[in-house]
Structure 1
Amino acid sequence: MSHPNPVSGVPSGVLLVDKAPDMTSHDAVAIARRSLGTKKIGHCGTLDPMATGLLMLVIERGTKIQDLLMSEDKEYEGTLTLGATTSTQDRQGEILEEKEVGDLSDEQVDEAFGKFTGAFEQIPPMVSAIKKDGVPLYKLARKGKVVKRDPRPVEVHDYEILRTELPEVDFRVKCSKGFYVRTYAHDIGAELGCGAHLSALRRTRSGKFTLDRAVSVETLKHGDREDLFKAMISLAEISLMRGA
């Protein structure tokens, strides 16, 4: 369905999207901008192209609460693959080193995860949107440059190991804002002595928002504009959800 752009009467609020794999968060914003007929739109928390799941789009006056919504805790489900480290800390990078995984027990795996709970510091990956002297790190990484990154305080509130079939481990993690699940996988692999990279990732929650009310990318692309407006969460409802 083609959408004229822009239109008047676009409601303010948040639209939850279940991001598809192999697209950027910016791609999702561009699709929504056309489909909703508005230029005033942003997203809360970048998802890597590989990742799927909850992407929160803030629309019209919803952009005023973008920082507030981005500051909330997140929940992810992921898979890490042991035995190989990569240049991006996920499966989309080049393999840097491969090691024998060995016969790790469930207890050893759980113990490694347990080392990364509570408050600790993470060194952000080179392939990230963090800026060094005004330039995003991922742009420097593309040129083969590696720069010193300062550790950042993060917190893991809870984790659960869902499946262990070596070399793969499925997990769920509840964490603070600014947490890199890729780095989490990488660091757990280092702790186990065989290395690891993140091979799958899905964001399932951000603050009070879950995938229950999310629309698919296909719906975002081809759905009726009025139906998309109805799917949005109003600023009044968000205020109630957050207990404001």
Structure 2
Amino acid sequence: MIVPVLKKGSELKFSDLSNGFLVLIDKPVDWTSFDVCKKIRNTIGMKKVGHAGTLDPFATGLLLIGAGKGTKMMTEFSQASKKYEALIQFGKESDSYDITGKIVNEQEDFNLDYSQIEEVVESMSGEIEQTPPMFSAKKVKGKALYKYARQGIEIERKAVKVRIIESKINFWEKPFLKMNLHVSKGTYIRSYAHDLGKALHVPALLKELQRTQVDNFLLEDSFTIEEFCTFWEKVAA
């Protein structure tokens, strides 16, 4: 099924969009992916609105939204590879593997140099096994892992195979490492940060995350939520 794709600068008419479409949204920090869908749903007046690939509230970047008949394409794009820019902080570990969680381990005095990090990053390329974090929406026995975690219950999770298609170090300035990552579906960047720290014997967590690409769709072509609302007011007038 082919539906129109709304990008920044699109000049489509309302009649082109009335049956459904895809829209590229730059999700702001502190919004859930559901919050974005709800805002889009209320703005356009369509009941069917969904997204491809959840972004955690602290993360920002490209969220692919389907509306109307566009929702039928969400499963396809959820399976697509994705690209991220990640900021990893060494010296701290949290229960959620990111900056929003409870700090469970700290190590102020540690020595890491670029060559050590580069070697481990290289070893974590290609197909790897990754254990989903407890604070995730992945379900075990029909219940999301984060619900167990909030009750203080640790559930045994099976490692799954994911693929790190490409990993590039942008800079290293202790305690921060910025990376670009191109990964297969189902890859948790929080788990990647956690596992990188384990491999280097230094606590680590994900401090910032921005999704820059889903399939062939780019963040630079996306609307902010405010821009989309303004666009819709004009096109629907």
TM-score normalised by length of structure 1: 0.87
Q: Indicate the SS of the match to 2:56.
A: coil
Identity value in percent: 36
Residue of structure 1 aligned with 2:232, choices 189, 210, 225? 225
Give the drift of 1:42: 0.4
- Cα distance change on mapping 1:185 and 1:174 into 2, 3 Å: same
Residue of structure 2 aligned with 1:125, choices 130, 133, 157? 133
In structure 1, the residue matched to 2:212 is: 204
Residue of structure 2 aligned with 1:25, choices 33, 57, 70? 33
In structure 2, the residue matched to 1:194 is: 202
Residue of structure 2 aligned with 1:62, choices 70, 73, 85? 70
Q: Indicate the SS of the match to 1:102.
A: coil
How do 1:74-223 and structure 2 match up within 5 A? 74-220=82-228, 222-223=229-230
Give the drift of 1:10: 2.5
Residue of structure 1 aligned with 2:50, choices 39, 42, 64? 42
* AA matched with 2:186: G
CA RMSD of aligned residues (A): 1.7
- 2:109 and 2:163 map into 1 onto residues whose CA distance is 27
Partner deviation per Cα, 1:167-189 (whole Å, 9 max, x = no partner)? 00000000000000000000001
Runs of 4+ with >3 A deviation: 226-229
Partner deviation per Cα, 1:118-172 (whole Å, 9 max, x = no partner)? 0011000001111111111111111111101111110001111001010000000
Give the drift of 1:224: 4.1
Q: Which runs of 5+ in 2 are unaligned?
A: 1-13
Which one is further off, 166-175 or 11-20? 11-20
Which one is further off, 194-203 or 135-144? 135-144
* AA matched with 2:188: Y
Q: Indicate the SS of the match to 1:54.
A: strand
- 2:103 and 2:218 map into 1 onto residues whose CA distance is 33
- Cα distance change on mapping 1:29 and 1:20 into 2, 3 Å: same
In structure 2, the residue matched to 1:4 is: none
Q: Indicate the SS of the match to 2:40.
A: helix
In structure 2, the residue matched to 1:238 is: none
Q: How many residues align?
A: 222
Q: Is the 8 A contact 1:72 1:206 kept in 2?
A: yes
Q: Is the 8 A contact 1:17 1:55 kept in 2?
A: yes
Q: Which runs of 5+ in 1 are unaligned?
A: 1-6, 230-244
- 1:60 and 1:146 map into 2 onto residues whose CA distance is 39
Give the drift of 1:228: 6.7
Which one is further off, 11-20 or 49-58? 11-20
